[in-house]
Amino acid sequence: MGKITGFMDYDRETGREIPPLERIKNYREFHIPLSEAAQRRQGARCMDCGVPFCQSGTIMKGMVSGCPLNNLIPEWNDLIYMGNWDQAYNRLKRTNSFPEFTSRVCPAPCEAACTCGLYGEPVSVKENERAIIERAYERGLAQAKPPAIRTGKKVAVIGSGPAGLAAADQLNKRGHWVTIFERSDRFGGLLMYGIPNMKLEKWVIERKIKIMEEEGVTFVGGANVGAEVKAARILKDFDRVILACGASNPRDIQAEGRDAKGIYFAVDYLKAATKNLLEAGSQAESSISAKGKHVLVIGGGDTGNDCVGTAIRQGCASVAQLEMMPKPPVSRTEDNTWPEWPRILKTDYGQQEAAALFGQDPRVYQTTVRSFLKDKGGNVTGAVLVSLKPQKDPASGRTLMVPQEGSEREIQADLVLIAAGFLGAQSYVAEAFGIELDGRTNVATEKGGYRTKDERIFAAGDMRRGQSLVVWAIREGREAAKAVDESLMGYTNLV
């Protein structure tokens, strides 16, 4: 390492964020990066710890510790410190197909596993990653590099989310002809329509897709494979098929009055908001708008937070976010030791903005909806909430959240957004290809692999593993590409 005492000499520093009450006036990204000199100091904080858990990507107690892509983090942190940005980009791209995405939306399990975080503040890995990729674009290093030789083999990728894009990118680099089929009008899947613009501006996605097109990947939009586009045609025209359609079955809630108008799944709300922004601009009202409404978000995860931030930008009158589980502690407990993922209280951008605008954190813990209220026209007007308490199930040993009788109370709500996660893949694509789903409604593949029961068809991403992180989807896409390449060529040199 170039600066062996860097972790002692320099404090953690991240770029500035535009204050909440200012940034909610638009849908732009609000992170202002560090200067090059300051970023190099942050690279110097990487301590050459000998056992870099940051790049381990292991599962501990059901949660990931370290980077699922096994990014070579200590290497490129040192290269940043040395000012060797070109080589830092080369090492970053060796393992990560899309650092321009992960450096914006990943929750950074690498930082949670950083050795510096054991007694102090972790290295700002995520911000270092973003600095590398954006400088690579500025310096012309990230331009299109079409393969010199083509194999003549053709691969169809169904779905243009992070898993599909990663698989296509790798297989194209190998020299195969790759076509991506996307049922939506824009490419990117979850990246395009599931993540708000202020978290991931859509030009970032379009910039990368343009490069992939220049490298030889064919993109076909408005192509709903399994419906309008027949699976038999795909199998006839292509040597291999990768199913990467995501886990797009939203989890519903069963409560009296669920049929009221004004109750939407979060994914539909966020998609409508992004489509409106791209097509009509921020001043036009979305087809599902929170303007002037009292918004109730059901679900305390990232998607719920994205709904909060979007509703605020649309001009909601109030916003509340329900979380079934207890409020997490502010620091690690004895049974949540490093380098496990820290199960601690985190306040994301939408919650920060709600607190700044309305004077309090929007989250209401240990609470769920017992029933919805509606007017004579069938429009939702509110919800009856009930408090929950943890209770150990003697049969399974699991902790269940049980309603507390007598804790019911009403809350005003004329827009309800269900952000309770996803149950698995929509079945029609798998059925069209004659592929089975497993007990969790994910595509069934060989144990530990990506091939389905049909040797020509593979699966990757949330469609195979269930709802997960963008970084896991990229990992899945890259691994599926290796399996497809080996099945076509008899071996693979993809990494």
pLDDT digits (tens, 9 = 90+) for 235-252: 999 999 999 999 989 999
Question: Could you read off the pLDDT of 49-85 as tens digits, one per residue?
Answer: 888 999 999 999 999 999 999 999 999 999 999 999 9
Question: Across residues 455-475, what is the average pLDDT?
Answer: 97
Residue 80 confidence (pLDDT)? 97
Band of residue 10 on the pLDDT scale cut at 50, 70, 90: very high
Q: 96 is written with which tokens?
A: 């990560």
pTM of the complete model: 0.96
pLDDT of 293 strictly over 80: yes
**Is pLDDT at 491 greater than 90 in this prediction?**
yes
The whole-number pLDDT of residue 139 equals: 96
- Write down the pLDDT at residue 51: 87
Give 418's pLDDT tier (boundaries 50, 70, 90). very high
Query: Does the structure show a pLDDT above 90 at 475?
Result: yes
Predicted confidence (pLDDT) per residue in 132-167, tens digit: 999 999 999 999 999 999 999 999 999 999 999 999
Q: By the 8 A CB rule, do 361 and 355 touch?
A: yes
Q: Render pLDDT for 20-51 as a digit per residue (tens, 0 to 9).
A: 999 999 999 999 999 999 999 999 999 878 88
DSSP letters along 121-144, please?
PPP-HHHHHHHHHHHHHHTTTTS-
pLDDT in tens, 343-394: 999 999 999 999 999 999 999 999 999 999 999 999 999 999 999 999 988 8
The fraction of the chain above a pLDDT of 90, given in percent, is 94
Per-residue pLDDT of 310-338, as tens digits, reads 999 999 999 999 999 999 999 999 999 99
Rounded to 5, what percent of the chain is helix, strand, coil?
35, 20, 45
Asked which of 159-163, 282-286, 332-336, 435-439 is least confident by mean pLDDT, the reply is 282-286
CA 420 to chain centre: 15
**Summary mean pLDDT of the chain:** 96
Mean pLDDT of the 170-181 span: 98
Identify the band that residue 1 occupies on the pLDDT scale cut at 50, 70 and 90.
low
pLDDT at residue 284, rounded to an integer: 86
Angle between the N-to-C axes of helices 302-314 and 266-279, in degrees from 0 to 180, rounded to the nearest 10: 50
Inter-CA distances, 39 with 44, 48, 218, 359, 412, Å: 9, 18, 37, 34, 46
pLDDT at 283: 84
Domains, the chain, in order of start with CATH, read 6-138 (1.10.1060.10), 154-248+423-489 (3.50.50.60), 252-420 (3.50.50.60)
**For 399-479, where are the E strands, in sequence order?**
399-403, 409-412, 415-418, 422-424, 457-459
Poorest-pLDDT segment among 22-26, 167-171, 394-398, 413-417? 394-398
Q: Using alpha carbons, select from 373, 360, 462 the residue that is nearest to residue 409.
A: 373
